[in-house]
C-alpha cells in the first residue's frame, strides 16, 4: 500500500514540479508549487516524520507560499500571461539539466547504499526539542541560536528593504 | 511493505526535482518564478536529507535537524528575496530579470 | 694662546654661513649687501687662516700631544666626527686636519678668494644676479676649504664634488648665453667622468686597506706602508691601479691631458671666477690630492707616480704650445694655467718621500703657492682689461699702458714672474722643480726647460699685444678700474713679488722635516737664459706691429692651424662621443629600449586590452547567463571528478 502511495506521490511531485517551472501564468505556477510542497509533506508523513511534515506544511506551504502569493499579487495582474520563452534558451537549459540529472543518477546508482538493519524508532517531538536545546552529543543549540539570529536579521532586513523610501 | 522501496528511487526522485528546479531557474524570466524554482531546489534537498536519515541512520537526528534549518533559512531567504523583488519592482516597474542588469560592468 | 686649533672650524663655516645668508635672504635687501656679507666673512676666514698659518708654522706645529718640541711638523686633527660607520673598521669621518700643505692651502684659498670677492664688488657691479654670484662664490670657498682640510679620502671626495658643482654653477653664471651653458655642462661632465675614476680608486684602496683616513694611509705602520698590498691585477699591483685611478680624478680637476678640454671653455664664466676657481684653487686640487698621498705614491706605487710625472710634463708642453697661438686673452691664460699645473705635477712626479728626495714635492707646493698668487693676478688684471675694452680678443687691444697704468704695472709684474725673471717668486719655485727634474729624469727636465722658454714667449706676446703694439680705434676711451678692483691687483702683485722669499723648504716638505736646499747654477742659468730668450723673441715680434708672426704662421700653415685648433682634441672627443658612443652604442641601445623593452611592455598591455575586450561580453549582467555558466562548470567538475576517480 505504502509503495503504491510513494510512487503515486513521487509521480505527482515531479509532475507538479514541471508544471511549476513551465506554467505561463504566475498564479498557477504558485499553486503548482504549493501542490508539490504539500506532496513533499505527504512523503514525510509516509515516513513517520510527523514533526518534519508539520513544519513543512506550516512554513513552506503556509508561510512561504503566502509570501509568494502576496508578492505575485503586488506585482502582477492576475491574468498576465508570460511571453513564450526563447526556444534556444529552453533547449540549452534542458540539455544542461538533463546532463546534470543523468550524471547524478549515475552516481546514485553506482553507489551501494547500506540500508540500516535497525528498526526505525519513531522520532518524537520531544527528542527534537531536546536536540535543539542541548549541547554536546546530538546537541544543536549553536546552530539553533544562529538560525534564530538569522531569522531576526532577515525579518528586519526585509522590512528595511521593502519599506518605501521617502524622499 | 514500505521498506522494500529502495533508497535509490527516492534519491532519483529528489535529483529529478532538483534539476527541474535548476531548469526553472535558468529559463524563467520572472524573478518570483525564479524564486519558486529555488524553493523547489531546496525542497529536493530536504527530501534527500530526510530520506538518508530515515534509511541509513534511523537512530540519529542530523538529517532531520538540517532539514529544519534549511526550512528556516529558506523562510528567511524568501522573506528577504521578496522584499528585494518588491523594491526592484518599485524602481524598474518590472521584475523581469533581463531588465535588471544595471550592475554589469 | 695655547695650542688650540679648534677655531679652524670657523674658517670653513663662515663662508657656508655667508652662502646661506646671501642665498636665502639676498633678495630682501640691496645687492651690494650680499657682496659685503660675502667679503666680510671671507675677510674673517682670511685673517684666521693667516693667524693659523703663523701659529702652526712658527709656534705650535711641531709640538706633539705631550708638549715636546720635535723637528717634524705634525698632522693635527682638532675636529673629527665619525659621520658614517660603514663596517666595524671602515667609517667615513668629517673633520679638520692641519698639516703643512693644508695650512698652506687655507692661506692660498682664503687669500685668493678674498681678493676675488673684493674685486667682484667692482667687476660685477650692476650685473643681474649679483647676489647669486656672491652666494655661489661663498659656496665655492666653503667647499674648497672643506676639501683642503679633509681628514680622509671620502670627505675629500664629497667636497671635491661640491667644488665641481660650484664651478659648474659659476661657469654657467651667464645662463642666457648658450656658450656659457654648454661650457658649464662640459666642465661638469668631463670632471664627473674623471671623478668616476677617483671614486673607483677610493673604493679599491679602501677595500684593501679598510680605511679612508689620510693619517693611517700615510703612516709608516699603516695598512698601506706597513703591510704592502700584494693583490695583483693585470700584472700590476692593485695599489698602483687605485693610485692611477685616483690620479685620474686629480687629472680631471686639474685639467691634465687628455681631460683638459673643459678648462678653456670654462673661461665663459665671469673673470673673478676664472681667477679663483680655474686658476688658483680648484684646478690645483688634483695636485693637492697627489701631494696628500705622496708617501703612498712614492713608496708603494712609484709606477703611478711615473704616470703623474709624464702626464704633467706632456700637459705642460702641450698647453704651452697651444697658448702661443690663441687670441682670446683668457684662453691664453687658461692654457698657461694648464701648463703651470703640469709643472706642479712634474714636481710631484719627480719627487720621492722624505729628506732630499722630497725636493720635488716641496717645489711643487711652492709653485702651487706662487702660481696661485701670480695667476690670480693675471686673471684679475685681464678682467680689468676686459672691463675697460669690452672684448676678450687681443686684436682689439693695444697700447693700453697709457690708459690703465695700475693694471699695466701689476700685469707686467705677474708676467715677469711667470717668465721666471730672477728675484720674483716663480723664479724660485720653478727653479726647484727644474732641479728636481734634473736629478730624476733628464728628458723631462729638457721638456720643462723648453716649456719655461715658451711660457716667457707666450706671456710676453700677450703683454706686448695688449699694452704696446698698435692702438686700435676704441669706441670710447678705456679707463682705469675702480679701487675695489685695483686694490686686489696691488695686493696680489705684492704677493707675486715677495712670496718667493717664504722659506718653503723649512715649512712644507714631504716628511715635515726642514730641507736643506742650495742654488744649483747648472739648472738656474739655463732656466734664466731660456726665459730671456722667450721674452726677447716676443719683444721682437710683438712690441711693434710686425709681419713676422704672420710670416711664421704662413710658412708653417698646417702646423699652425693644428695648434690653433688645440690639436683638434675637442674634435676627437666629439668624434668619439657623437660618432662612436652616441651613434654606435647609445642609439642601438635606445632603439632596443624603445622597440624591444617598451614594445614588450606595450605588447603586454595591448594583449590584456585585446583579451579583456573579447571577454568582457561575458560580463553581461544577465543573472541567468551567470547561473548557466556556473551550473555548467559544476557539472564539468563533477564529470571530471568521476572520470579521474574511476
- Nearest CB among C628, C634, C635 relative to A93 is that of C628
**What is the grid cell recorded at C506?**
723649512
**CB under 8 Å to C149, separation ≥6 — which residues?**
C8, C12, C95, C96, C97, C98, C102, C106
Cβ proximity of C329 and C267 under 8 Å: no
- Residue given cell 705635477 in the structure block: C345
Q: Residue C643 belongs to what H/E stretch?
A: helix C623-645
Cβ proximity of C116 and C373 under 8 Å: no
Q: Are residues A1 and A76 in the same domain?
A: yes
- Residue A111 inside a domain? The answer is no
Domain count, chain A: 2
C598 alpha carbon, distance to own chain's centre: 41
**Would an 8 Å CB–CB cutoff place C628 in contact with chain B?**
yes
Which stretches of chain C score pLDDT less than 50? Answer: 1
**CA-wise closest residue to C287 among C108, C141, C115, C506:** C108
The three-point CA angle C75-C81-C85 to 5° equals: 115
**CA-wise closest residue to C214 among C78, C319, C75:** C75
- CATH number reported for the structural domain that contains residue A47 in this entry: 1.20.120.1200
Report the CATH number of the B2-92 domain. 1.10.287.3510
Q: Classify B99 as helix, strand or coil.
A: helix
User: C424-438 pLDDT, tens per residue?
Assistant: 888 888 888 888 888
Q: Are residues A77 and A129 in the same domain?
A: no
**CB under 8 Å to C86, separation ≥6 — which residues?**
C92
Q: Which residue of B has its CA nearest to A140?
A: B65
CA distance C487 to C170: 23
Q: Are residues A2 and A73 in the same domain?
A: yes
Cβ proximity of C271 and C388 under 8 Å: no
Q: Residue C336 belongs to what H/E stretch?
A: helix C329-349
CA distance B73 to C324: 104
Structure ipTM: 0.87
Task: Identify the pLDDT of residue A73.
Answer: 85
User: C268-293 pLDDT, tens per residue?
Assistant: 888 888 888 888 888 889 899 988 88
Beta-sheet strands, E only, within C87-231: 91-98
Task: Identify the pLDDT of residue B105.
Answer: 43
Cβ within 8 Å, pair B8-A70: no
**CA-wise closest residue to C455 among C553, C323, C312:** C323
Task: Identify the pLDDT of residue C281.
Answer: 86
**What is the grid cell recorded at C490?**
696691488
Task: Identify the pLDDT of residue C501.
Answer: 85
**CB under 8 Å to A124, separation ≥6 — which residues?**
none
User: C91-148 pLDDT, tens per residue?
Assistant: 888 888 888 888 899 999 999 999 999 988 888 888 888 888 888 989 999 999 999 9
Q: Which residue of C has its CA nearest to A96?
A: C632
Q: Residue C258, preceding bond cis, omega within 30 degrees?
A: yes
Q: Which A residues in the span 73-102 are in contact with C, Cβ-Cβ below 8 Å?
A: 92-93, 96, 99-100
Q: Are residues A5 and A68 in the same domain?
A: yes
Task: Identify the pLDDT of residue C1.
Answer: 43
Q: Are residues A14 and A77 in the same domain?
A: yes
- Residue given cell 652666494 in the structure block: C135
Tell me the DSSP string of B15-27.
Answer: HHHHHHHHHHHHH
- Residue A56 inside a domain? The answer is yes
CA distance A114 to C351: 107
Shortest Cα distance from A93 to chain C (angstroms)?
Answer: 8
Q: Which A residues in the span 47-106 are in contact with B, Cβ-Cβ below 8 Å?
A: 47, 49, 51-52, 55-56, 59-60, 63-64, 67-68, 70-72, 74-76, 82, 85, 89-90, 93-94, 96-98, 100-101, 104-105
Q: Are residues A139 and A64 in the same domain?
A: no
Shortest Cα distance from B104 to chain C (angstroms)?
Answer: 4
Q: Classify C83 as helix, strand or coil.
A: strand
Burial C437-450 (b: 16+ CB within 10 A, else e): bbbbbeebbebbbb
- Residue A19 inside a domain? The answer is yes
Cβ within 8 Å, pair B36-A30: yes
Q: Are residues A74 and A140 in the same domain?
A: no
Q: Which chains reach chain C with 3 or more Cβ–Cβ distances below 8 angstroms?
A: A, B
Q: Are residues A2 and A77 in the same domain?
A: yes
| DSSP type of residue C69 | B
- Residue A91 inside a domain? The answer is no
Q: What's the N-to-C CA distance of chain A in angstroms? A: 63
- Residue given cell 699652425 in the structure block: C560
Cβ proximity of C116 and C138 under 8 Å: no
Per-residue pLDDT of chain B (105 residues; tens, 9 = 90+): 345 577 888 899 999 999 999 999 988 888 888 899 999 999 999 999 998 888 888 778 888 888 999 998 988 988 888 888 888 888 877 778 777 766 554
Per-residue pLDDT of chain A (167 residues; tens, 9 = 90+): 778 888 999 999 999 999 998 888 888 889 999 999 999 999 998 888 888 899 889 888 888 888 888 888 888 776 677 777 778 888 988 999 999 999 999 888 888 877 766 666 677 888 888 888 888 777 888 888 999 999 999 989 888 887 876 65
Task: Identify the pLDDT of residue A136.
Answer: 78
- Nearest CB among A93, A96, A103 relative to C639 is that of A103
**Would an 8 Å CB–CB cutoff place C642 in contact with chain A?**
yes
Q: Dihedral of the CA atoms C180, C185, C191, C196 (nearest 10)?
A: 170
Cβ within 8 Å, pair A161-B46: no
CA distance C72 to A96: 103
- Residue given cell 542541548 in the structure block: A134
Q: Which chains reach chain A with 3 or more Cβ–Cβ distances below 8 angstroms?
A: B, C
- Residue A132 inside a domain? The answer is yes
Cβ proximity of C206 and C212 under 8 Å: yes
Contacts of B27 in chain C (CB under 8 A): 624
Cβ within 8 Å, pair B65-A161: no
**Would an 8 Å CB–CB cutoff place B4 in contact with chain C?**
no
For testing contact with chain B, the best of A30, A73, A154 (most B CBs within 10 A): A154
Cβ proximity of C345 and C256 under 8 Å: yes
Cβ within 8 Å, pair B85-A30: no
Q: Are residues A73 and A129 in the same domain?
A: no
Task: Identify the pLDDT of residue C564.
Answer: 79
C474 alpha carbon, distance to own chain's centre: 36
**CA-wise closest residue to C306 among C260, C218, C243:** C243
- Of A81, A112, A145, which residue constitutes the final position of a domain? A81
CA distance C600 to C595: 8
Distances (CA, A) of C431 to A147, C310, C504: 108, 18, 13
Q: How many contacts does A have with C, using Cβ atoms within 8 A?
A: 18
**Would an 8 Å CB–CB cutoff place C637 in contact with chain A?**
no
Cβ within 8 Å, pair B89-A75: yes
Task: Identify the pLDDT of residue A167.
Answer: 55
Contacts of B72 in chain A (CB under 8 A): 59, 147, 150-151
Task: Identify the pLDDT of residue C505.
Answer: 79
- Residue given cell 685695483 in the structure block: C486
Task: Identify the pLDDT of residue B1.
Answer: 38
Cβ within 8 Å, pair B98-C622: yes
Cβ within 8 Å, pair C622-B103: no
Task: Identify the pLDDT of residue C497.
Answer: 87
Q: Do the strands C232-233 and C91-98 form a parallel or antiparallel pair, or are they unpaired?
A: unpaired
Q: Which domain holds residue A151?
A: 123-167
Phi/psi-derived region of residue C383, left when phi > 0, alpha when psi is between -120 and 50, beta in every other case? alpha
Task: Identify the pLDDT of residue C226.
Answer: 66
Amino acid at each position: 500500500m505504502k509503495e503504491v502511495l510513494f510512487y503515486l506521490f513521487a509521480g505527482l511531485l515531479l509532475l507538479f514540479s514541471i508544471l511549476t517551472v513551465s506554467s505561463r501564468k504566475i498564479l498557477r505556477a504558485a499553486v503548482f508549487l504549493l501542490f508539490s510542497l504539500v506532496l513533499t509533506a505527504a512523503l514525510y508523513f509516509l515516513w513517520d516524520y510527523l514533526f518534519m511534515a508539520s513544519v513543512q506544511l506550516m512554513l513552506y506551504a503556509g508561510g512561504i507560499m503566502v509570501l509568494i502569493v502576496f508578492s505575485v499579487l503586488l506585482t502582477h495582474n492576475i491574468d498576465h500571461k508570460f511571453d513564450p520563452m526563447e526556444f534556444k534558451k529552453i533547449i540549452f537549459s534542458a540539455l544542461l539539466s538533463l546532463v546534470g540529472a543523468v550524471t547524478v543518477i549515475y552516481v546514485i546508482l553506482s553507489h551501494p547504499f547500506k540500508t540500516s538493519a535497525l528498526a526505525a524508532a519513531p522520532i518524537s517531538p520531544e527528542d527534537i526539542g531536546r536536540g535543539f536545546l542541548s549541547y554536546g552529543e546530538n546537541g544543536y543549540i549553536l546552530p539553533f541560536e544562529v538560525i534564530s539570529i538569522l531569522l531576526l536579521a532577515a525579518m528586519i532586513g526585509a522590512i528595511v528593504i521593502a519599506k518605501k523610501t521617502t524622499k | 511493505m514500505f521498506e522494500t522501496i529502495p533508497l535509490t528511487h527516492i534519491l532519483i526522485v529528489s535529483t529529478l526535482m532538483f534539476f527541474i528546479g535548476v531548469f526553472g531557474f535558468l529559463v524563467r524570466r520572472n524573478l518570483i518564478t525564479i524564486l519558486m524554482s529555488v524553493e523547489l531546489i531546496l525542497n529536493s534537498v530536504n527530501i534527500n536529507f530526510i530520506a538518508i536519515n530515515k534509511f541509513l541512520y534511523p537512530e540519529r537526528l542530523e538529517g532531520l535537524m538540517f532539514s529544519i534549518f534549511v526550512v528556516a533559512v529558506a523562510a528567511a531567504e524568501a522573506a528577504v528575496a521578496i522584499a528585494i523583488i518588491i523594491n526592484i519592482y518599485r524602481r524598474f516597474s518590472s521584475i523581469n530579470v533581463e531588465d535588471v542588469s544595471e550592475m554589469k560592468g | 694662546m695655547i695650542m688650540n686649533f679648534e677655531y679652524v672650524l670657523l674658517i670653513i663655516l663662515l663662508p657656508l654661513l655667508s652662502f646661506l645668508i646671501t642665498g636665502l635672504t639676498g633678495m630682501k635687501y640691496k645687492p651690494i649687501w650680499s657682496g659685503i656679507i660675502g667679503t666680510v666673512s671671507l675677510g674673517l676666514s682670511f685673517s684666521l687662516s693667516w693667524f693659523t698659518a703663523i701659529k702652526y708654522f712658527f709656534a705650535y706645529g711641531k709640538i706633539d700631544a705631550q708638549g715636546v718640541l720635535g723637528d717634524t711638523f705634525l698632522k693635527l686633527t682638532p675636529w673629527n666626527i665619525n659621520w658614517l660607520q660603514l663596517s666595524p673598521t671602515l667609517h667615513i669621518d668629517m673633520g679638520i686636519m692641519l698639516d703643512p700643505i693644508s695650512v698652506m692651502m687655507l692661506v692660498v684659498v682664503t687669500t685668493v678668494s678674498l681678493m676675488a670677492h673684493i674685486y667682484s664688488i667692482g667687476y660685477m657691479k650692476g650685473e643681474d644676479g649679483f647676489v647669486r654670484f656672491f652666494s655661489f662664490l661663498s659656496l665655492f670657498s666653503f667647499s674648497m676649504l672643506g676639501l683642503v682640510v679633509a681628514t680622509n679620502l671620502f670627505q675629500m671626495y664629497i667636497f671635491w664634488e661640491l667644488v665641481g658643482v660650484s664651478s659648474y654653477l659659476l661657469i654657467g653664471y651667464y645662463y642666457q648665453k648658450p656658450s656659457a651653458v654648454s661650457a658649464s655642462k662640459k666642465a661638469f661632465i668631463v670632471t664627473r667622468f674623471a671623478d668616476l675614476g677617483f671614486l673607483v680608486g677610493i673604493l679599491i684602496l679602501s677595500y684593501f686597506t679598510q680605511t679612508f683616513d689620510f693619517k693611517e694611509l700615510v703612516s709608516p705602520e699603516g695598512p698601506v706602508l706597513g703591510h704592502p698590498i700584494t693583490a695583483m691585477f693585470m700584472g700590476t699591483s692593485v695599489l698602483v691601479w687605485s693610485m692611477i685611478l685616483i690620479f685620474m680624478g686629480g687629472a680631471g680637476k686639474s685639467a691634465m691631458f687628455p681631460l683638459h678640454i673643459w678648462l678653456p671653455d670654462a673661461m665663459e664664466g665671469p673673470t673673478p671666477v676664472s681667477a679663483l676657481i680655474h686658476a688658483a684653487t680648484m684646478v690645483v686640487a688634483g695636485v693637492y690630492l697627489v701631494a696628500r698621498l705622496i708617501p703612498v705614491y712614492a713608496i708603494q706605487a712609484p709606477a703611478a707616480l711615473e704616470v703623474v710625472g709624464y702626464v704633467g710634463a706632456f700637459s705642460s708642453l702641450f698647453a704651452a704650445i697651444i697658448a702661443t697661438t690663441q687670441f682670446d686673452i683668457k684662453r691664453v691664460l687658461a692654457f698657461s694655467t694648464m701648463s703651470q699645473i703640469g709643472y706642479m705635477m712634474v714636481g710631484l712626479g719627480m719627487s720621492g718621500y722624505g729628506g732630499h728626495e722630497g725636493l720635488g714635492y716641496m717645489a711643487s707646493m711652492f709653485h702651487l703657492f706662487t702660481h696661485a698668487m701670480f695667476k690670480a693676478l693675471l686673471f684679475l688684471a685681464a678682467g680689468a682689461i676686459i672691463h675697460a675694452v669690452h672684448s676678450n680678443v687681443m686684436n682689439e687691444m693695444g697700447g693700453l699702458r697709457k690708459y690703465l697704468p695700475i693694471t699695466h704695472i701689476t700685469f707686467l709684474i705677474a708676467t715677469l714672474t711667470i717668465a721666471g725673471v730672477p728675484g720674483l717668486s716663480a723664479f724660485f719655485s720653478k727653479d726647484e722643480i727644474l732641479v728636481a727634474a734634473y736629478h730624476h729624469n733628464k728628458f723631462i727636465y729638457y721638456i720643462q726647460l723648453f716649456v719655461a722658454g715658451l711660457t716667457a714667449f707666450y706671456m710676453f706676446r700677450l703683454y706686448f699685444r695688449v699694452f704696446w703694439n698698435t692702438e686700435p680705434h676704441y669706441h670710447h676711451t678705456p679707463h682705469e678700474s675702480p679701487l675695489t678692483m685695483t686694490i686686489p691687483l696691488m695686493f696680489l702683485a705684492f704677493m707675486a713679488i715677495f712670496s718667493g722669499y717664504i722659506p718653503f723648504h723649512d715649512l712644507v716638505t714631504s716628511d715635515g722635516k726642514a730641507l736643506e736646499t742650495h742654488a744649483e747654477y747648472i739648472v738656474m742659468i739655463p732656466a734664466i737664459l731660456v726665459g730671456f730668450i722667450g721674452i726677447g723673441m716676443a719683444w721682437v715680434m710683438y712690441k711693434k706691429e710686425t709681419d713676422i708672426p704672420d710670416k711664421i704662421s704662413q710658412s708653417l700653415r698646417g702646423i699652425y692651424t693644428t695648434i690653433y685648433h688645440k690639436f683638434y682634441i675637442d674634435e676627437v672627443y666629439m668624434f668619439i662621443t657623437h660618432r662612436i658612443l652616441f651613434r654606435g652604442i647609445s642609439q642601438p641601445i635606445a632603439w632596443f629600449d624603445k622597440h624591444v623593452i617598451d614594445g614588450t611592455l606595450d605588447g603586454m598591455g595591448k594583449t590584456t586590452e585585446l583579451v579583456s575586450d573579447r571577454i568582457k561580453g561575458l560580463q553581461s549582467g544577465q543573472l541567468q547567463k551567470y547561473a548557466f555558466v556556473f551550473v555548467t562548470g559544476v557539472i564539468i567538475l563533477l564529470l571530471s571528478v568521476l572520470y579521474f576517480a574511476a
